[in-house]
Structure 1
Amino acid sequence: MLTKPLEAYPDAKNQPHVQVALRLREAGYLSGFSAGDTIPYIICCEQGTTSSGSSAGIADRARHPDEMKRSNRTWMIDIDYYLAQQIHPLVSRLCAPIQGTNPAHLANCLGVDPSKFQPKTSEVTISGSSPSLLSAMDTDDRYSGCEPLRFSCPSCSRTFECPSVSSWALMLSSTGIPVESRVQKKSHNFWCRLCCSKCQEEGEVRGRMTCAMIANQVKTQANKFISTYYKGVMTCDDETCSYTTRGLNLRVVGDSTGGIICPNYPQCDGHIVRKYTEVDLHRQLAYFCHILDAVWFIEKLELKVRIPLQKELARIQPMVDLAASNVKKLRNRCAYWWGSD
């Protein structure tokens, strides 16, 4: 809105609404540019360019809606400007209490260049890492802290950790011994005999797990972690404070955001955070997918080693496919990385 006559603005060149009002007056409009009038305008860019590629300032690119109609599409709405300057700041403030989000990730989800919103600090935590960064990390680093996949033997009821299918492929790809001999010699790996090591030693045939057993146990464990996430347990990030809750404290102190102040304030200066975050859930489900995936490992091998391994993989593939398919569906439903593709 104009608060004074147009001539009274000393910095008229930097005021979008003033520039629009001046053009309206030059175009012959008789009203609409006096003190107290509201000047509607839209930040535009010339067709074929973007705000980042334009050298003109914001005030020079402001256009009245009537000007846009008469421009025959010479001027287009600068979508990048509104996403970066109007929508992104609002979304960032709304999502600030959500664990696992940061301005750069939200910018990427909005289709805006995330490099403009990267944190200035050189330290990047796992919870704030972008999907591309996590994908580039070593497997051990990516899945550190994840719970192992555990199977229960149907014969002896013994619980044991399931090795990854890639570890079985790595065992078979070791040099110097034919694949067929290695399958017989190193049968302690679960995927060789599909039973626990105790049943293998005792020669117990009943301990052999079926495709349905593997799929059910994998899905049961995945659902356990999903249930843990949806419990929504929150805890104080101060190590000296043991406050835990499933409720949300809406108290605001100073410039803080509602919902993150520890109820023990001022005795505690900590903040309330999720105990099991969406990052933890997605990483755990991705780890289960990694355990049940050997194709990525075999594809990296030389052709002469890959062919016999593919034959062995075809033998156990039906036992893995159903379980892998179930856990991949659960992982893909996780919305944490919905904007990463």
Structure 2
Amino acid sequence: MRVVVIGGSGHIGTFLVPRLVHAGHDVVNISRGQHSGYVDDPAWEQVRQVTADRATGTFPDQVADLAPDAVVDLICFDLDSATALVERLRGATGHLLHCGSIWRSGPSVKVPVTEDTGTPPVGEYGIAKAAIARMLKEETRSGGLVTTSLHPGHIVGPGWHPIGPLGNLDSTVWHRLSAGQPIEVPGIGAEFMHHVHADDVAQAFEAAITHRDAAAGEDFSVVAPSALNVRGYAQIAASWFGQSAELRPVTWDEFRNSAGDEAAQLSWEHLVRNHYFSIEKARTLLGYTPAYEPEDAILESVRWLIDHEQLDVANPLTMD
């Protein structure tokens, strides 16, 4: 098939585009300029590159004019933009796959969360992703374009910083853990975060393309087989450096004063949701079998950052 990937040069596309090429598909990558992923792969040499800007009014026509059998949209965050693409592709392509987010669900009430048991989303990003997923499902079930939405957890892999044990991107936590220094933990440290390796997300998209009929009109949570809570994440991460995590519980006000408003807000956004999702639906309908436990995916990311001198740590990794 001809598969058009919108935003294929990012985290997921780094692994998805080569997967599709190796599977024998004719792949077109639409981006605003970057033409390869975070990891080198000779498969990129077989990919047709198209430069386009989603903000232009002609973008849906540009996608349709490529005559795709399937379109994978990895960078849609707005309902109007998603709707415009659906309306243009209706009758012109066989399958539209959308990358959503587990943040389409709000704070957990019962875990693991399934596709049908999430609470209403909170925050602009999650609300938008939930609205897009509803629109896509209604489109297919009303007899329109065949669509599928896949909702990854916190994506990790080589080339970028993972969401850390405190639920933010403050890289100093890795130095403190590697040095055996104490870290302040807001709340009680039992809040979950659900990570997923970018290649496992790519696996799910490839499976949804392959199993189009099973995926039609459906939505799927795409996460690792298990989730880490704050305490467990910190202890596991410290052990990578031969250390034991010393955790000091603090109030959210105290944490905000020490971490700063931006880092504390990001921590709040992640930890208040307390997310831990089921992959049973994706496993049953798509054959989704994630290769990475969350700690393995995060370790790969951390190792890459250290090797490329993008992460300051006090001691070397002791893990093979």
For the aligned pair, the TM-score class normalised by the smaller chain equals under 0.3
Relative contact order higher in (CA < 8 Å, ≥ 6 apart):
2
Could you state the TM-score of these two structures normalised by the residue count of structure 1? Answer: 0.21
Could you state the TM-score of these two structures normalised by the residue count of structure 2? Answer: 0.22
In proportion to residue count, which structure has more strand?
A: 2
In proportion to residue count, which structure has more helix?
A: 1
